[in-house]
Amino acid sequence: MKILIVDDESDICELIGFIVQDIFPSDTDTLLAYSGNEAIKILKENDDIEICICDHNMADGMGPDVLKYLIEVKSKTKFVLCSTVIPSDKPNDYPAGFVYTNIQKPEIGIGIEHLFHLVEKSMLEKLKCMSDEFFPVKVHVLSLMEALPADIYIRMSDNKFIKCINQSEEFSSADKEKYTQKFVAELYMKKGEHSPSVNEIILDTVQKIMERRNLPLTEKLNIAHSQLVVLIKFTGITPELAESSKKNIQQSVALIMKNPLAADFWKEMNFLGEYPSTLYTLHSLLASIVVKKLHWSSEATMYKLSLSAFLQDISLDSIPLMEICDNQEFIEKQSRFTPAEVKKYLEHPQRAIEVLASFKEIPPDVDRLLLEQHEMPDGTGFPRKLNANQLGPLTCVFIITGIFARHILKDKSSFDVGAFAILLEGKGYSRGNFKESFEVIKSMRKI
Ligand SMILES: [Fe+2]
């Protein structure tokens, strides 16, 4: 996103730029202009500026001149007045309906935070609107369909989709290669063109992928997770998606329980695929090894752990945030994230519980596992600050295997269980109710 900041006082202009960089997502670009006329020149050269934060009183072209230009060219740039003047004081200069919002000087920080929430909300609404018409399908899922059950579209911009493959054609390996090389992870099916519904077609395909005999278990889990999560992020958690996710996790658990896994199975895994899906797969499988060794293994226990692994980071979009192992690491890295990202991170256990509420017949403990996912053995985690003696043994399995999975994904072939056990011990993950799961992990280095 590009944001233009216009103020004739250069230090204020730079200060606004600094606050915007701090609050908006890290891929936001800021451009600075020190007069209204300079701003108009920049706007003429850049038709992709989404927001213009503009002062009122400036020597060379005032705020109203900038807004007048935007209205004349029917620009999509949102005009935000940043001044001691408010738009309703000067209705002729700032006609109603043309000012997106205003930032009241000197409360610039509060104003920009408010602006960010407005933008975020409108982006979510736009996505929701769009999802009324199109559904995303992972390229990997398309490649596993025999004949395409619907026309396939590619997304060119926010709301522009072009048909790229016809219904009943095959999605060939050359097609898969072509889109993967272009970093296109999802294509789309259009709603309303088919019966059964597109959602049903996609969910049915995921089901068939799970039943395939010739696909490794890790790949099945990975593909199903990535498709279900992309749908949940796109349309929100609908009752239909909650039911399909639940069925899929139960199916995954049945497969996990049937397949004996070697304690160091991850050495055989190739870690292709998106991080959240690989993390879910690895976390579920490691948890199954620990509970099997502890003889707590029942499908009901594994379902709790897998459902929690599925939902733990569902509200996060940033992979660097998902990669964080525990609160100690989060505190060390906190300055790399914007205040909005920090807020999102601190709230994500609670957000996961809100998504969980859409699932029917939730087994006991899952809300606790989600809420306590980032507690620490010494009681310095969040949000409840429980320590190793206060956290339940199942929560400890969930936390420790989550850290285990993240370390394997970080170190890949250089991962060493012995060194990892020493690190865990140093951080206190061998104490209290962590002890039993810690001993299982430690024993893996002897194999
Ligand atoms: Fe998390």
Percent of residues, the chain, with pLDDT higher than 70: 96
Quote the ligand 1 centre to 276 CA distance (angstroms): 11
Query: For position 190, what pLDDT does the model report?
Result: 87
Quote the ligand 1 centre to 166 CA distance (angstroms): 40
Task: Give residue-wise pLDDT tens across range 338-380.
Answer: 888 898 999 999 999 999 998 888 899 999 999 999 999 999 9
Task: Give residue-wise pLDDT tens across range 190-234.
Answer: 877 556 778 888 888 899 899 988 889 999 999 999 999 988 888
Quote the ligand 1 centre to 161 CA distance (angstroms): 34
The half-sphere exposure of 377 on its side-chain side, counting CA atoms within 13 A, is 18
- Angle ∠(135,138,143) on CA atoms, nearest 5: 120
Query: For position 200, what pLDDT does the model report?
Result: 85
Query: For position 62, what pLDDT does the model report?
Result: 96
Quote the ligand 1 centre to 278 CA distance (angstroms): 14
Burial class of 32 by CB neighbour count within 10 A (0 to 12, 13 to 18, 19+)? middle
Output the six-digit token pair for 366.
């899952």
- The mean pLDDT of 11-18, rounded to a whole number, is 94
Task: Give residue-wise pLDDT tens across range 128-151.
Answer: 555 567 888 999 899 888 788 888
Quote the ligand 1 centre to 141 CA distance (angstroms): 26
DSSP secondary structure string for all residues of 306-320: HHHHHHTTTT---HH
What residues have CB less than 8 Å from 250, skipping those under 6 apart? 299, 303
pTM score of the predicted model? 0.73
Quote the ligand 1 centre to 321 CA distance (angstroms): 8
- Amino acid of residue 200: E
Highest mean predicted confidence (pLDDT) among 37-41, 46-50, 181-185, 272-276: 37-41
DSSP secondary structure string for all residues of 331-351: HHHGGGS-HHHHHHHHHHHHH
Query: For position 30, what pLDDT does the model report?
Result: 94
Q: Does pLDDT of 447 surpass 60? A: no
Strands 78-83 and 49-54: parallel
Quote the ligand 1 centre to 308 CA distance (angstroms): 10
Look at the block and give the residue holding tokens 């509420």: 357
What residues have CB less than 8 Å from 432, skipping those under 6 apart? 377, 387, 388, 389, 391, 396
**Segment holding 160, helix H or strand E:** strand 160-165
Quote the ligand 1 centre to 163 CA distance (angstroms): 37
Quote the ligand 1 centre to 25 CA distance (angstroms): 19
Quote the ligand 1 centre to 194 CA distance (angstroms): 38
**Residue 419 to residues 6, 319, 377, 416, 431: CA-CA distances in angstroms?**
53, 25, 19, 6, 17
Quote the ligand 1 centre to 180 CA distance (angstroms): 28
Which chain residues have CB less than 5 Å from ligand 1, an ion? 312-313
Lowest mean pLDDT among 68-72, 170-174, 344-348: 170-174
Q: Does pLDDT of 381 surpass 90? A: yes
Query: For position 129, what pLDDT does the model report?
Result: 56
Task: Give residue-wise pLDDT tens across range 282-330.
Answer: 999 999 999 999 998 789 999 999 999 999 999 998 889 999 999 999 9
Quote the ligand 1 centre to 363 CA distance (angstroms): 20
The CATH number of the structural domain formed by 2-129 is 3.40.50.2300
- The mean pLDDT of 49-58, rounded to a whole number, is 96
Quote the ligand 1 centre to 403 CA distance (angstroms): 10
- The mean pLDDT of 102-107, rounded to a whole number, is 92
Give the domain ranges of the chain: 2-129, 131-205, 216-446
- The mean pLDDT of 164-173, rounded to a whole number, is 90
Query: For position 194, what pLDDT does the model report?
Result: 59
Output the six-digit token pair for 245.
């996710």
Strands 152-157 and 160-165: antiparallel
- Please give the Cα distance from 107 to 326 (Å, whole number): 35
DSSP secondary structure string for all residues of 422-443: HHHHHTTTTSGGGHHHHHHHHH
Quote the ligand 1 centre to 111 CA distance (angstroms): 30
The CATH number of the structural domain formed by 216-446 is 1.10.3210.10
DSSP secondary structure string for all residues of 228-264: HHHHHHHH---HHHHHHHHHHHHHHHHHHHHS---TT
Quote the ligand 1 centre to 369 CA distance (angstroms): 11
**Residue 255 to residues 221, 277, 303, 308, 320: CA-CA distances in angstroms?**
10, 17, 11, 17, 30
